[in-house]
Amino acid sequence: MIPPLYALNGVEIPSVLGKGLFATEETLWNSDASVVGSPVEIPGQHGELLTDDLPVFGAAKLAITAHAYADADQAQIEHAVRVFTALVSQPRLTLSRTVGSNVTSARVRLESLVRGGKFRWGRAATLTAAFAVPQVFLRESPSLSLVSSWTSDIPLLHLDRLDGSSGPIGDALIRIRGPLTAVAVTDLLSATGISWSGVLASGDWLYLSPRLCRAWIAEDYEAWEPTGTDVSGGLDWPAAGRLQLWPQVTALDVPTRITVSAVGAGRAAGTTLAIRAGRCYL
């Protein structure tokens, strides 16, 4: 039996014939996405102006087509259709996708629910639920890449826990245990980065969120949400933009890799560096 590919709010949608309802082959096996661009055309010049801007993706789209069936019982068809309709129209929806041990998820928004033409009284009905994935990527739960003694600059740090990502990771969090007076983390492929300068005392923890443009100092080593003392005034980033971790492709038969550089000042033997992120997929 093929295991379910998708679940909504933890409710699995069977991939093969099950009891009353299953996902058909019309279901998209993965989401579709498009690149948002602003082409610049110059009068009298062929083509468009080529820039080095990073690709920016619009909201992804995903459709699940479900087939409800029964054995000469229209009431059973109606029941399956109503339950599926209630599920896809929940006020807060999280879609998860499971392939082997790889489990990813994302918040989604229902855009349409279409009742297809494959209807037979008392036997079968087909519905297609189309979703938007506003944050584009399906993501795994985050994990830590840790440098337990960060006393010297690292020109190339391979974040091996993120091997295999196919989309840029824009929500990584940086955590440093003091002492420290300056830090800069840069993605080596995209040249995006995040930096901070200030005074981080020994034993305190500094957190940097490129996505939120926030920095905070706390006494807790798991203060991954803004708390403690706000020190966002010390934040900066390069011309390429705030830190995004972009997967590098070296060969089609080799998993993608993500590498960064990490430099700092004012460190001591107790200074540590951690990057918290989860693989994401386009």
Give dist(CA 158, CA 184) in Å, integer. 16
Percent of the chain with pLDDT over 90: 54
Residue 68, pLDDT above cutoff 80: no
Strand ranges of the sheet holding 180-187, from the earlier edge strand across to the other edge: 154-158, 259-265, 180-187, 193-200, 235-236
Distance, in Å, from the CA atom of 54 to the CA atom of 57, rounded to the nearest integer, reads: 10
pLDDT in tens, 188-225: 999 999 999 999 999 999 999 999 999 999 999 999 99
241: left (phi over 0), alpha (psi -120 to 50) or beta: left
pLDDT given for residue 17 in this prediction: 45
Tell me the per-residue pLDDT of 234-244, one tens digit each, with 9 for 90 and over: 999 999 999 99
Whole-angstrom distance, CA of residue 257 vs CA of residue 208: 22
Q: CB-based contacts of 6: which residues, under 8 Å, 6+ apart?
A: 12, 13, 23, 27, 64, 95, 96, 97, 98
Residue 29 — pLDDT band, cuts 50, 70, 90?
Answer: low
Q: Which residue has the tokens 């991939």?
A: 15
* pLDDT of 257 over the 50 cut: yes
Stretch 69-87: mean pLDDT, rounded?
A: 77
Measured at the CA of 145, the angle between CA 143 and CA 151, to 5 degrees, comes to: 150
**CA 208, CA 173: separation in Å to the nearest integer?**
6
- The yes-or-no verdict on residue 42 having pLDDT over 50 is yes
Q: Quote the CA–CA distance of 61 and 65 in Å, as a whole number.
A: 13
Rg (CA), the chain: 24
Q: By C-alpha distance, which of 160, 179, 170 is closest to 237?
A: 170
Q: What is the C-alpha separation between 197 and 136, in angstroms, rounded?
A: 32
